Amino acid sequence: MAASEFLIPPLRPGAHIAVIAPAGPPKPGRLEPVPGWLRERGYEATLLPSCFGPPPLDFLAAPDAVRLADVHTAFSAPNFDAVLALRGGSGCIRLLDAIDLDLLAASRKLLIGYSDLTVLHALRTRAGIPSLHAPMPASDWGLPGAQADTDALFHRLDTGWRAGDVVGRADRHPLTRGGSARGRLIGGNLAMFCALLGTPYLPDLDGGLLFIEDISEEPYRVDRMLSQLRLAGALDRIAGLLVGSFSGAESSDAVLADHLPRLRCPVLAGWPSGHGQPNRPLPLGVIAEMDAAAGTLILR
């Protein structure tokens, strides 16, 4: 099949992946195995300087200038075929007003990551370029219970994504409601997506399928963020809502059950992506059809 028929082309064997740390620093022992993990999967890796610090604040992997330079290098250097975030945490949003948007828009390289990377996914979506919400090495790879998610990521890097591919399936969930919807997949981490409201970096919401997930957010904070989306008119503009995991805190199901019935669009809940496990790869910035009754998401 011609490369032009792929929505997200596969990475060729031996592809060179740039590993960047645009957000938080890795925990001890989580950086050193990364090149070996990628070699085991048939890829070449280069860890860019942001991976090595020093952190100017304890929640940042490296100074803003270093992390910014690595974003630009990863997307512009011709020897890199894809860009992999080391981990999430916090810090990507500090870079947005300094990122060369024309440079990013000129590069079709796949960005891989999730969590704080939501704001960089937003830039790719705004430029009309797909990206991948997927497990990251310092956060997920090699951890107990995460092998299936990591295997699913590398399977898709090997095969790519085409129109008609079934992204996945969600089990029946009490918060699921409505029928089918079609639109561009946008979103990611709820807190980071809300942080983009009122900025020039928010993706176009009109007719989109909004994916949300989060970690360590107590129910009152999830309520606040969903209220913010509602008050900003965001939830009136989307064609459908895809709800991933909300983990690491008291269950937010009651808050979600309070908010979601107010929506005029279909809701597909229990999607197997987010900070919990499973965390299956989810392409963003592509057109998909969501069937809430069947629990499926199909690329179009």
Question: Do residues 1 and 162 lie in contact, with contact meaning Cβ atoms separated by under 8 Å?
Answer: yes
Beta strand 240-247 with 209-215 is parallel
Look at residue 182 and give its three-state secondary structure.
strand
Q: Is 275 a catalytic residue?
A: yes
Q: Count other C-beta atoms under 10 Å from residue 264's C-beta.
A: 9
Q: Is 115 a catalytic residue?
A: yes
HSE-CB for 215 with a 13 A CA cutoff: 15
Given 115, 131, 139, 245, the catalytic residue? 115
Cα torsion for 144, 217, 136, 148, to the nearest 10°?
Answer: 40
**Can you tell me which residue has the tokens 């280069």?**
46
Given 107, 121, 139, 213, the catalytic residue? 213
Q: Is 247 a catalytic residue?
A: no
108 vs 93: CA distance, rounded Å: 21
Q: Count other C-beta atoms under 10 Å from residue 171's C-beta.
A: 10
Active site residues: 115, 213, 275
